[in-house]
Structure 1
Amino acid sequence: MRLAIDSGKLLYALGVLFAAAALLYFVRDVVFDLSITVKAALLLLGFVVLFVAGVALERDVLDVVAFALSGVTYVVFVGYVVVRYSPGETGTFLLLAISAGLFVGLGYALRAGIPTPSRRTAAAALGGLLIVSAVLVGADALSGGVTYDVQTNESVTVSVPEPENPDRYPYIEAEIGAVTASNPSPFLRALDLPSLSGCLVGPTDHPEDSVYVDTDIEWDEDTIGASTTKSYAVTAELPIDPNRTEPKTYAVERDIDCSAERSEPTIAIQVDGSDTLD
């Protein structure tokens, strides 16, 4: 028994699969530094463009390919909105229900016989949608991205809390500064705080030892709203001898090497991936 495979349809199917992969890569926020709002809008516009193309195309199978691509684009759009905007259980249900009604309605309209637009009408509609897309991308680029400002204290003083285990060096968490994220644009954007690291230099019990540095951002907080500024405390886990009776003070310096020499105990802070360092 010979298996008959239509070469053209096979290539169309591969094209749809690669298009789906490209869309998934697009929404990962690793290419095209666009805001979340504009990406979602472009996906929705892409769905409309491909659907209009499917209605206008008269060649065999190509209309089906266009409809398949429009459906895939819409699915990616819905997933992106749910993940990035976190509409909650009710919002997600409503979005899915509306989407179901939309596609049932479109399918019914196609079966009932939507009048095929002329090439001129279809070209005008597609051109208008492309202009809207270009305007959104331009506005996104001109509005600016998220900037980060890292500020550190000049020093921090820690003391041994009671009670403590005298047989080991405890680590005391202390606030050593703050990171401020600012989004001047009218669009929702991805939030990615600078990477912070630290070490001890100078006359310390553990010279050149790494220091755990972190911020108090929520684990699932990865977006910042339009025209919004947020501030996050920067904390460090510092070693201190539990046998000490007096508080211990560390100076805080940024962008110095862990091999640097200082006359007093110092926390060296390194900042990576920030746009603004003051």
Structure 2
Amino acid sequence: MNLDIDGGKILYALGIAFALGAFAYFVRDVVFGLSITVKAALLFVTFLAFLVVGFWIERGALDVVAYALAALAYFVFLAYIITRYDPSETGVFLLFTVSAALFVGLGYVVRQGELSIPDRTVGYVLFTLVAVGLVLVGADVVSGEVTYTAELDDEATFTVPEGALDADGPEVVPLEGGIGTLTARNEGVFTRPLTLPSIGGCVVGTDAVSDDVRVRFRYQPPSYERADRLAGGEELEHEIHVEIPVQTNATDDGSMTFAIERGDDCDVSREEPTIVVIVGEDAREVRPPLVVGRSAEGVD
């Protein structure tokens, strides 16, 4: 059995595999804090850079490695565009069609073997691509971020569900409704991911709500219906919705009024029924725990 394996090719293959992992991790919204627009542009710039290197280099299989890295960068770029910008079916079809024509054309040029790029030209092109990338990153850094502003009502009156006060009704019923809004605004010019801040809270100043029950806070519309990105200068408003389990015998007329205030924790006492709303990182410390979305900075 011939086990003569080219160690260099194995290392090349591992390098390509790790590059794919790096590209895939780059497009997640957990590193660098770059906008969706700039991430997509940087992936395309990376594709062009590796493509130029592949045309220029003539050592062993390194040109193949460069082409493979260029193809990976383009593949991740295309997948990122489709998943983050959600183009129409026609748009997706056109993207795939243009991509197919592009790579067939590039394959033809490579097979002909007549393309020769001078060293100085390659240096100029790579320098230009790096400069473009740095300019994009710099513009992204100085551009405005997405800001989140919470505006709460002064008070809210909720009505128990119909039939809840009947003799055979439940002992605990949910009171629910809107108590304010959270406005997300993209202050910059690039499209950015929308990640609503964590929200939690509690009810104090009344025995109608047990200390061990969960007061549920959430945003409307729900996550599967709302946008996950904001274009430059765009603004979206989300209702802050609360659900409070209360004891049925705590109300005689079928309604209950709560004052509403913004807080940092639930270690407070009030003389009247009060909903304490915590927005941002402090919401993660609320017990019983309830977190909606990931925490975001810049919540007013």
Q: TM-score per shorter chain, which class?
A: over 0.9
Q: Which runs of 5+ in 1 are unaligned?
A: none
Deviation per residue, 1:209-235 (Å, 9 max, x gap): 331001113424211111111111101
The equivalent of 1:28 in structure 2 is 28
The equivalent of 2:17 in structure 1 is 17
For 2:9 and 2:296, locate their aligned partners in 1 and report how far apart those are by CA, in whole Å: 48
Percent sequence identity over aligned pairs = 44
For 2:115 and 2:102, locate their aligned partners in 1 and report how far apart those are by CA, in whole Å: 18
The equivalent of 2:170 in structure 1 is 167
Q: Which runs of 5+ in 2 are unaligned?
A: 281-294
The equivalent of 1:213 in structure 2 is 217
Matched, 1:249 2:257: yes
Amino acid across the alignment from 2:214: S
For 1:203 and 1:117, locate their aligned partners in 2 and report how far apart those are by CA, in whole Å: 78
Q: How does 1:102-113 map to 2 (within 5 A)?
A: 102-113=102-113
For 1:204 and 1:150, locate their aligned partners in 2 and report how far apart those are by CA, in whole Å: 28
Deviation per residue, 1:185-242 (Å, 9 max, x gap): 1111000001101211112312433310011134242111111111111010123454
Are the structure 2 counterparts of residues 64 and 274 from structure 1 closer, same or farther at C-alpha, using a change threshold of 3 Å? closer
The equivalent of 1:263 in structure 2 is 271
Contact 1:175 1:234 in 2 (8 A): yes
Are the structure 2 counterparts of residues 210 and 167 from structure 1 closer, same or farther at C-alpha, using a change threshold of 3 Å? closer
Select the residue among 168, 185, 190 that pairs with 2:188. Answer: 185
Deviation per residue, 1:50-77 (Å, 9 max, x gap): 0000001011111100000000111101
The equivalent of 2:97 in structure 1 is 97
The Cα shift of 1:4 comes to 1.6
Matched, 1:198 2:220: no
Q: How does 1:40-119 map to 2 (within 5 A)?
A: 40-119=40-119
The Cα shift of 1:97 comes to 1.5
Are the structure 2 counterparts of residues 105 and 204 from structure 1 closer, same or farther at C-alpha, using a change threshold of 3 Å? same
Amino acid across the alignment from 1:234: I
What SS does structure 2 have at the residue aligned with 1:170? Answer: strand
Amino acid across the alignment from 1:139: A
Contact 1:35 1:189 in 2 (8 A): yes
The Cα shift of 1:260 comes to 1.7
Contact 2:218 2:241 in 1 (8 A): yes
Contact 1:240 1:248 in 2 (8 A): no
Contact 2:209 2:247 in 1 (8 A): no
How many residue pairs end up in the alignment? Answer: 278
Amino acid across the alignment from 1:91: G
